C-alpha cells in the first residue's frame, strides 16, 4: 500500500510554491499518494482538513527575518493534536547560512507540543526577493540545484532519515526575537508605508491576492491597513509596478521579482559574481 503524504505550504512570491511543485512531482514518481494544500487558502476560507488521513505531513515556507511567516505560525497554532505523525519541513531562502538554521524553530516547538514528530528540516536556496538582488543567471542555477536537492530530500524522507539543524541557545533566542520584531512591528509598519502611485490602473490584483487582506479600496483609492505580512507579493505582482513604500524602498528589489519568468527564460549563462562563488559548493552538492 502506498504511503499518503499531505503537504502544506505558504508562498509569498512563488519560490516555495515552485519547490512544492518539484516535491510533488518527485513523490508521484515514487508512487506516493500526495496532496498539496495552500495554507493561505486554508486560513482564508476556513477550510477544515482531516490531518489523520496522512501517514506523513510536509510543511513548506519561505524564511522571513530568520523565522517562519506569521501565517504559517497561525496555522500550526490551530492544528489538532496528532497521533505522532512524522513531519518534514522545507523552507526556501536567499541563503543557507547558519543564522537561518533556527528558521522553523518556533513551529517545531509548537508541533512537538501537539505530538507531531518533526524528523526532517531543510533549507532550499531559491534567490532573494528582498533587500539583495541576485542575477537571473544565479537564480536559474539555484532553481536547477533545487531540482536535485528535492530528489535527494524525497529519498531521505521516504527512508525516514533524520536531518535536523541544532542551533545553539543564543542563536535561537536571537533569531526568535528578531523574527517576532519583524512580524509584529516591521511588517505592520512596512505595510502602512505602502502606497499606489499614479501608475495604478485599478486592476484590483493586489486587493484580491494579498494573503492578509491588508489592501482595500476606499474612495476609489488603494489603501493599506496594519496587517501586512511583508510577503512582497503586491509589489512584484502589480502589472504596472505602481506599489511602493514611502520609507522602506531599500527592501524592494529594483527590477522586480518574478521567479516564474526568470526560470522560463532559459539561458546557459552562469553567474560569475561573488555570490556564485559563495554558493559554489551548495550548487555542486545535492546533499547540502
- Residue 216's DSSP bridge partners are 223
Q: Using CA atoms, how far apart are residues 259 and 257, in angstroms rounded to an integer?
A: 6
Closer Cβ to ligand FMN, 87 or 124, answer by number: 124
User: Are the C-beta atoms of 138 and 276 separated by less than 8 Å?
Assistant: yes
Q: Applying CB under 6 A, which residues contact ligand FMN?
A: 11-16, 62-66, 92-95, 100, 126-130, 230-232
Nearest one of 258, 257, 260, 222 to 242, comparing CA atoms: 222
Q: How far is the CB of 262 from ligand FMN (least distance, A)?
A: 12
Q: Using CA atoms, how far apart are residues 262 and 259, in angstroms rounded to an integer?
A: 5
Q: How far is the CB of 7 from ligand FMN (least distance, A)?
A: 14
Q: Within 10 A of 280 (CB to CB), how many other CB atoms are there?
A: 9
Give SS3 for 177.
helix
Closer Cβ to ligand FMN, 23 or 232, answer by number: 232
Closer Cβ to ligand FMN, 55 or 95, answer by number: 95
The secondary structure of residue 215, as a DSSP letter, is E
Q: How far is the CB of 49 from ligand FMN (least distance, A)?
A: 20
CA distances from 234 to 103, 159, 171, 214 (A): 24, 40, 32, 10
User: Are the C-beta atoms of 118 and 164 separated by less than 8 Å?
Assistant: yes
Closer Cβ to ligand FMN, 8 or 66, answer by number: 66
Cell of 61: 515556507
Closer Cβ to ligand FMN, 196 or 253, answer by number: 253
Q: Using CA atoms, how far apart are residues 179 and 183, in angstroms rounded to an integer?
A: 6
Q: How far is the CB of 180 from ligand FMN (least distance, A)?
A: 13
Closer Cβ to ligand FMN, 86 or 253, answer by number: 253
Nearest one of 244, 269, 253 to 133, comparing CA atoms: 253
Closer Cβ to ligand FMN, 131 or 201, answer by number: 131
Q: How far is the CB of 218 from ligand FMN (least distance, A)?
A: 26
Q: How far is the CB of 172 from ligand FMN (least distance, A)?
A: 14
Residue labelled with grid coordinates 542575477: 135
Amino acid at each position: 500500500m502506498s504511503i499518503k503524504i499531505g503537504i502544506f505550504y505558504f508562498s509569498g512570491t512563488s519560490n516555495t510554491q515552485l519547490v512544492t511543485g518539484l516535491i510533488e512531482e518527485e513523490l508521484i514518481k515514487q508512487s506516493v499518494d500526495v496532496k498539496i494544500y495552500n495554507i493561505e487558502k486554508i486560513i482564508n476560507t476556513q477550510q477544515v482538513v482531516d490531518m489523520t488521513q496522512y501517514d506523513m505531513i510536509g510543511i513548506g515556507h519561505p524564511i522571513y527575518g530568520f523565522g517562519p511567516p506569521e501565517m504559517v505560525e497561525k496555522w500550526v497554532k490551530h492544528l489538532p493534536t496528532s497521533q505522532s505523525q512524522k513531519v518534514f519541513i522545507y523552507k526556501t531562502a536567499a541563503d543557507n547560512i547558519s543564522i537561518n538554521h533556527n528558521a522553523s524553530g518556533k513551529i517545531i516547538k509548537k508541533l512537538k507540543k501537539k505530538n507531531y514528530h518533526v524528523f526532517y528540516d531543510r533549507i532550499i536556496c531559491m534567490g532573494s526577493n528582498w533587500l539583495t538582488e541576485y542575477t537571473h543567471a544565479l537564480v536559474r542555477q539555484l532553481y536547477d540545484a533545487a531540482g536535485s536537492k528535492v530528489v535527494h530530500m524525497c529519498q531521505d524522507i521516504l527512508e525516514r532519515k533524520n536531518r535536523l539543524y541544532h542551533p545553539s541557545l543564543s542563536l535561537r533566542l536571537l533569531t526568535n526575537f528578531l523574527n517576532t520584531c519583524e512580524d509584529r512591528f516591521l511588517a505592520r509598519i512596512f505595510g502602512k508605508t505602502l502606497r499606489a502611485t499614479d501608475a495604478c490602473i485599478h486592476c484590483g490584483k493586489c486587493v484580491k491576492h494579498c494573503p492578509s487582506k491588508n489592501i482595500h479600496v476606499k474612495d476609489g483609492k488603494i489603501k493599506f491597513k496594519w496587517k501586512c505580512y511583508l510577503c512582497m507579493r503586491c509589489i512584484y505582482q502589480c502589472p504596472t509596478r505602481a506599489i511602493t513604500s514611502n520609507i522602506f524602498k531599500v527592501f524592494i528589489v529594483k527590477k522586480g521579482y518574478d521567479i516564474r519568468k526568470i526560470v522560463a527564460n532559459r539561458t546557459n549563462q552562469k553567474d560569475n559574481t561573488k555570490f556564485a562563488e559563495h554558493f559554489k559548493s551548495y550548487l555542486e552538492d545535492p546533499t547540502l
